[in-house]
Amino acid sequence: MIEFKVLKRSKKSAARLGVLKTPHGEVMTPAIVPVATLAAVKALRSDEIAATGTQLLISNTYHLHLQPGEKIVKAAGGINKFMNWPKPTMTDSGGFQVFSLGFGRDLGVGKHSIKYYPGKIEQAIDKGHQPSNVRLTEEGVHFRSPLTGEELFLNPETSIAIQEKLGADIMFSFDECPPPGATHNYMKQSLARTHRWAKRSLAARTSRQALYGIVQGADFEDLRKAGARAITRMDGFDGFGIGGDIGESKEESRKILKWVVPLLDQKKPRHLLGMGHIEDIELIIKGGVDTFDCTVPTHYARRGIAFTSKGRVDFGKEALLKDKGPIDASCECLICQKYQRAYIAHLIRANEITGGALLTFHNLFFFNAYVAKMREKIAKGIL
């Protein structure tokens, strides 16, 4: 079980300072949650992850079920022991894969944008089309593994059963993450189903692990509010996930949080699913979010992108080969103390995995430090 304590509420925004107590230790919130999909923050050892200031990780039900299978993880002593990560963990339910392996994959779009295919998703959905590799029914979701073609069925009951075997401190209810651009009509039905699945997720729980219910509703005010009320009313959830399409613009994201956050049980923690670009973090925290996960720092690092106090730096660029300075002069991470940009640029350009590892470390440190500053600001009453 978890325990959440709000230490301070901002008077200037919905931001709050808190402590999330879990069986594996405490998390100072707001906190960023790096993504360890396959029980690994790609390129880093667990002691390195901790050294970046990371307090909490999120792994994935779908991926760990396919590989190596939850039984293996359980036999290894649960996800913490399995990956030698002594700190708190979450597992996502697989609901996101309904989107990412479904419409997302079909149309090549991300959750936040449909700009490349305007209208296509609406049309597909209105015609009742199913994405080509995912079939949704009331009972659950049939997936086809993009790697092996293997079929997989996930529903609230199986997702919770898998998550209980994985043994993270916090689980998420199985939801449908609908595609961006979904029509109101589609969303309304999807939302109702996600709520039925939320109840089934609650009923399926047999462990003492915490379980968060996920609020959907896309960018429709009535649906977001209905979602927030419905999940709050279910009483039994230990916290909330805010998921799905969180708006194409910062302004919309802000609006969505404003609709949802006030309607949630204020004593429980709120987690924003899949959003956390460095420039989003302030609005996320001001919007009242306690924890949020995002693949950006780790994902971009392996693409050669470093986040710095002066913006993004692309280490694939030839010019950096002559730069003897650190990634970020104002960063206190180990990499910035010891390594030249020139070397990291060389590693990235030469496709050496060490380059991705160094940037992953720096990016995570940078994001964590940024969020730590936000906590300070809340404590001082200036955020």
Is the CB of 70 or the CB of 92 nearer to RNA?
Answer: 92
Interaction of residue 113 with RNA, rule CB under 7 A: yes
Nearest residue to 246 (alpha-carbon basis) of 96, 35, 126: 96
Copy the structure tokens of residue 69: 């299978």
Say whether residue 349 binds RNA (CB under 7 A).
yes
C-beta of 4 vs 172, nearer to RNA: 172
Active site includes 314?
no
CB of 79 to RNA, least distance (A): 14
Sequence letter at residue 264: L
Residue closer to RNA (CB basis): 12 or 132: 132
Dihedral of CA 235/241/244/246: which sign?
positive
Binder among 124, 273, 306, 371 for RNA (CB under 7 A):
273
**Residue 243 contacts residue 273 (beta carbons within 8 Å):** yes
Closest separation in Å from C-beta 380 to RNA: 26
Q: Is 382 near RNA (CB under 7 A)?
A: no
Answer yes or no whether residue 368 interacts with RNA by CB under 7 A. Answer: no
Residues 187-216 that bind RNA (CB under 7 A): 214
Q: Identify the residue among 127, 128, 138, 147 touching RNA (CB under 7 A).
A: 147
171 binds RNA (CB under 7 A): no
With a CB cutoff of 8 Å and minimum separation 6, the contacts of 57 are 33, 34, 35, 36, 41, 49, 85, 87, 88, 89, 90
Least separation in angstroms between CB 252 and RNA: 11
Structure tokens at 313: 């730096």
Count of all residues that appear for the chain in the document:
383
Residue 260 phi/psi, 5° resolution?
-85, -50
Q: Which residues of 250-341 form beta strands (DSSP E)?
A: 270-272, 291-294, 305-308, 311-314
Under the binding rule (CB under 7 A), the answer on residue 317 touching RNA is: yes
Q: Is 293 part of the annotated catalytic residue set? A: yes
Least distance in angstroms from the C-beta of 57 to RNA: 10
Among residues 167, 217, 239, 243, the one that binds RNA under rule CB under 7 A? 243
| Contacting range for RNA; rule: CB under 7 A; set: 110-118, 162-170, 195-203, 221-229 | 110-118
Residue 304 has phi, psi (to 5 degrees) of: 90, 10
For residue 233, what are the contacts with CB-CB under 8 A and spacing of at least 6? none
Q: What's the min distance (Å) between Cβ of 109 and RNA?
A: 8
C-beta of 137: minimal distance to RNA in Å?
A: 18
54 binds RNA (CB under 7 A): no
Give the active site residue among 169, 175, 293, 328.
293
- Is 170 one of the binding residues for RNA (CB under 7 A)? no
For position 331 contacting RNA by CB under 7 A, the verdict is no
Tokens of 324: 């003897």
- CA proximity to 182, closest of 173, 174, 193, 191: 191
> 189, 201, 205: which is closest to 231 by C-alpha?
201
Q: Shortest distance, CB of residue 253 to RNA, whole angstroms? A: 8
Interior CA angle at 225 toward 129 and 292, to 5°?
85
Pick the catalytic residue: 92, 106, 175, 290? 92
User: What is the per-residue DSSP string for 47-112?
Assistant: HHHHHTT---EEEEHHHHHHTT-HHHHHHTTSHHHHTT--S-EEEE-SHHHHHHTTHHHHHT--TT
Residues between 71 and 90 that touch RNA (CB under 7 A): none
Nearer to RNA, 17 or 218 (CB): 218
Any contact of residue 275 with RNA (CB under 7 A)? yes
Q: Tell me which residues are annotated as active site.
A: 92, 293
Q: Interface residues with RNA (CB under 7 A)?
A: 35, 37, 41-42, 58, 60, 63, 92-93, 95-97, 99-101, 105, 108, 110-113, 146-147, 172, 175, 177, 214, 241, 243-244, 273-277, 280, 293-296, 298-300, 302-303, 305, 314, 316-318, 349, 351, 353, 356
